[in-house]
Structure 1
Amino acid sequence: MKKIAISIGDLNGIGPQIAITQHDIIKKICHPIYCVHKTILDNACDILKIPLPKYMELSPPNSTIPEIHPGMIEAQSGRYSYESFLLACQLTEEKKTHSVCTLPIHKKAWKLAGINEIGHTEVLAKRYKKNTMMMLGCQEMFVALFTDHIPLKETNKYIKPQAIKQFLISLHQCIKMEKALVLGFNPHCGDNGLIGNEDELIAKGINLANKLIKKEVFIGPIPTDTAFSPMNRKKYKFFIAMYHDAGLAPLKALYFEESINVTLNIPIFRTSVDHGVAYDIAYRIQPNTKSYFNAITLAAHKWRLDE
């Protein structure tokens, strides 16, 4: 079985709880290596009033061991989740593990810890000096994001034909999809320039990409309000959104529990749960673990993105 490095996420959230309660399930599909100290897992088990599962292989990060304070945003838990993630990347770079699966971090906790990057994706971009691509979804549907964690008012600055072309080419190099639907930017795709010209620039980028691929892989742009219609979801598995919420709002409405996060265009394979730290239920209620199971399953290559 493939070895998967699992970063533990924010200690005050649901990450440790998911790792502990799901260990006996995921060990049947991979060999998990948890980037965490046993002291922390023992502390989590004491709070949860459950025994620590047997045979959990641990690779602790070189970090101070903080106490768990459920539901609290703290610099200590932010720093630990960051160090756990860096170790998971290192293990995979060194071929000691096959891939990385990340449990959720809290961005404010990272900021309190003095970490400059907003989240996992930004760390990966800096670490590997690559234009990372964020794609989220499940076996039924995936959404790739042309822009991700930037203010909405700044997104139109990025809409340029060459940038669109390069993004689509890189996406196709990562995933050999047959067809993908590209969402527009403005309402009604700009109504022929009446509501902005960004969609004309997107169309140029699509044409440039298809010419280089020598095949009409990317279709669009199509108005965002109709892109995810039942008919389109029957025809397409892959969608490309120009900005975060245009693509992720419908995805999470349809597949909130199952969807996962995949980082593309980097030298390691990284999957993640597609949910947050859930401070409101941490160590009190058992969280839904479908996203974690799907992220581990993909990280172990039990199914392929381009199926």
Structure 2
Amino acid sequence: MPPLALTAGDPSGIGPEISIAAWLLRDSHGVPPFFLIGDPDLLKSRARLLGLTIPIREAGPGDAEQAFEHALPVLPLAEAFVDSPGQPSSVNAAGIIASIEKAVQFSLAGEASAVVTAPIAKKPLYDAGFLFPGHTEFLAHLAQQLTGIPATPVMMLAGPDLRTVPVTIHIALADVPSTLTVEMIVTAARTTARDLSHRFGIARPRLAISGLNPHAGEEGSMGREDDAIVRPAVTALRAEGIDAIGPLPADTMFHARARQNYDVAICMYHDQALIPAKALAFDEAVNVTLGLPFIRTSPDHGTAFDIAGKGIARPDSLIAALKLARHLADNRVDPT
């Protein structure tokens, strides 16, 4: 199995130090082989700042696994990074973008088994002319650009005890009812069911579809969206042979007994999905992008500029992202 491709992320954040920590914990935490696409000099600088001694070897996908046992494999970029912990700079934008592009190229070519992305911040990228709303949209663009096939990405939060998918993501709560459609729910759930089967090894995924309103609308007395939008979506999914139930009251979906009855919760908006996922496993939850022609995972946290370079960032979520990426690669089944 080829190694994992880890992107540099924003080097002014905690990405460099959690990458170093993940390699240092490779034996005790069962971290699978990966190579980081970034700047070896920056990693050495950050390690010195943290008082760490770490061997770094320039290596790509072909020799990363052999190097991994004794050194952190780093594939250098043509673009160098400015090492300024806690002070993001648009100067680093070109390297951040190039790292993502190369990781996707390696994964699509079969030279990397998956893409694991370190956190990025949007503002420095926007200042440099980046035209995409965020990481996921850029990954979907690269997938279509390189394969010619449109990609419809779906965000999943995956933890040890709960997987959740938000149908609407980064929009105001007030805009959710007018934005939500039957087709949006069906598309997100269909993509989720397919990837749970083809990548997570779940033969017949069970989907729990949340309601939008309190008590799932309680027969229209607390809003009509559940009967007009969510219920027809569940009916359509079941007609396709997908094991879906709902709309379910969100306030009773996430306790331990309820979670035994489904493999993923499809939620109607951002916080409805992310609050329970993060409450149950804040340091272990992983962001998984479904619907792409390659596997992509990411730590479920941001750049943490406020603690960058202080040596207190925990690598737990990155390690979980690396381990899940390898697990998905090992279980991947090409659809027939």
TM-score, normalised by the number of residues in structure 1: 0.91
Out of 172-181 and 291-300, give the one that drifted further: 172-181
How far is 1:51 from its partner?
1.7
Out of 115-124 and 50-59, give the one that drifted further: 50-59
Q: Residue 109 of structure 1 aligns to a residue in which SS?
A: helix
| Contact 2:6/2:35 (<8 A) preserved | yes
Question: Structure 1: which 4+ aligned runs deviate by more than 6 Å?
Answer: none
Aligned counterpart in structure 2 of residue 210 of structure 1, from 210, 226, 238: 238
| Contact 1:2/1:30 (<8 A) preserved | no
| Structure 1 residues 141-152: aligned runs within 5 Å | 141-152=162-173
CA spacing shift, 1:196–1:62, aligned 2, 3 Å: farther
2:209 matched residue in structure 1:
182
The amino acid across from 1:13 in the alignment is G
The amino acid across from 1:4 in the alignment is L
Out of 73-82 and 260-269, give the one that drifted further: 73-82
Aligned counterpart in structure 1 of residue 179 of structure 2, from 158, 164, 170: 158
Aligned residue pairs: how many? 303
How far is 1:126 from its partner?
2.1
For 2:195 and 2:22, the matched residues in 1 are separated by 30
| Contact 1:140/1:237 (<8 A) preserved | no
1:138-183 CA distance string (max 9 Å, x none): 1311101212223333322332223322322222111134322111
1:231-268 CA distance string (max 9 Å, x none): 21233341111111111012111110110011111101
1:19 matched residue in structure 2:
19
2:201 matched residue in structure 1:
none
1:3 matched residue in structure 2:
3
Aligned counterpart in structure 2 of residue 101 of structure 1, from 102, 110, 116: 116
2:73 matched residue in structure 1:
57
Q: Residue 209 of structure 2 aligns to a residue in which SS?
A: strand
CA spacing shift, 1:166–1:118, aligned 2, 3 Å: closer
| Structure 1 residues 28-177: aligned runs within 5 Å | 29-54=31-56, 55-63=71-79, 65-128=80-143, 129-176=150-197, 177=204
| Contact 1:137/1:255 (<8 A) preserved | no
How far is 1:117 from its partner?
1.5
For 2:179 and 2:331, the matched residues in 1 are separated by 30
| Contact 2:104/2:142 (<8 A) preserved | no
Q: What is the CA RMSD across the aligned residues, in angstroms?
A: 2.2
TM-score, normalised by the number of residues in structure 2: 0.83
1:27-80 CA distance string (max 9 Å, x none): 7643211101212112212322222334222222342x1321111132123443
For 2:172 and 2:94, the matched residues in 1 are separated by 25
Q: Residue 25 of structure 2 aligns to a residue in which SS?
A: helix
1:193 matched residue in structure 2:
220
1:3-26 CA distance string (max 9 Å, x none): 100002111111000111221333
The amino acid across from 2:136 in the alignment is T
How far is 1:304 from its partner?
5.6
Q: Residue 134 of structure 1 aligns to a residue in which SS?
A: strand
Q: Residue 203 of structure 1 aligns to a residue in which SS?
A: helix
CA spacing shift, 1:125–1:6, aligned 2, 3 Å: same
For 1:154 and 1:3, the matched residues in 2 are separated by 42
Instruction: Determine whether 1:301 maps to 2:327.
Output: yes
2:306 matched residue in structure 1:
280
For 1:60 and 1:287, the matched residues in 2 are separated by 24
How far is 1:294 from its partner?
1.2
The amino acid across from 1:46 in the alignment is R
State, as a whole percentage, how many aligned pairs show the same letter.
30
Q: Please, which runs of 5 or more residues in structure 1 have no aligned partner?
A: none
For 1:90 and 1:178, the matched residues in 2 are separated by 30
